[in-house]
Amino acid sequence: METRAASAQDAEGMGQVIREIIEHTGRQRPNDVDIVMGRYIADPTSIRCTVAVDGSGNIVGFQSLKKAVAGNPYDTPEGWGIIGTHISPTAHRQGVGKLLFSTTREAACQAGLKKIDAYIGADNPSGLKYYDAMGFRTYRTSDGIVQKVCDL
């Protein structure tokens, strides 16, 4: 397993990871190439988007880190990081999330961030456990959402 910066050529594979998550959880979310490009790879607030690739070259997960700006959709305080993690169900419990977060944490520190926000559905127990394991703590809840913060 290795990680690298995501590129435009990864958009289809990243969308496939999201589709696998949808199939596993039933929670719908946009997953086409244009959404992946705009939301993760080419977002102007992006600090780093990292893909995890297995030994066959398949994308098995990705993690995005953005800088929170005024008016962001998560109501994250301006200047914090915003993290998003997507791991294929076929790659769960293989260390993908830990590997991705080590790269993301380093990028956050290099960017001078002091905090990272994770916006998680309250109906996503594996996501909540993951962020707890990475050192995040709950700081806000509302309407089926749990927001966790990691102090850097």
- pLDDT band per the 50, 70, 90 thresholds, residue 26: low
Mean pLDDT estimate for the chain = 92
pLDDT of amino acid 19: 87
Beta strands in the chain (DSSP E): 2-5, 46-53, 59-67, 81-87, 115-121, 137-142, 145-151
Tell me the C-alpha distance between 26 and 42, whole Å: 27
pLDDT in tens, 52-98: 999 899 999 999 999 999 999 999 999 999 999 999 988 788 889 99
- pLDDT band per the 50, 70, 90 thresholds, residue 30: low
pLDDT at 145 over 90: yes
Residue whose C-alpha is closest to residue 40's, from 69, 18, 21: 18
- pLDDT band per the 50, 70, 90 thresholds, residue 31: low
pLDDT at 102 over 70: yes
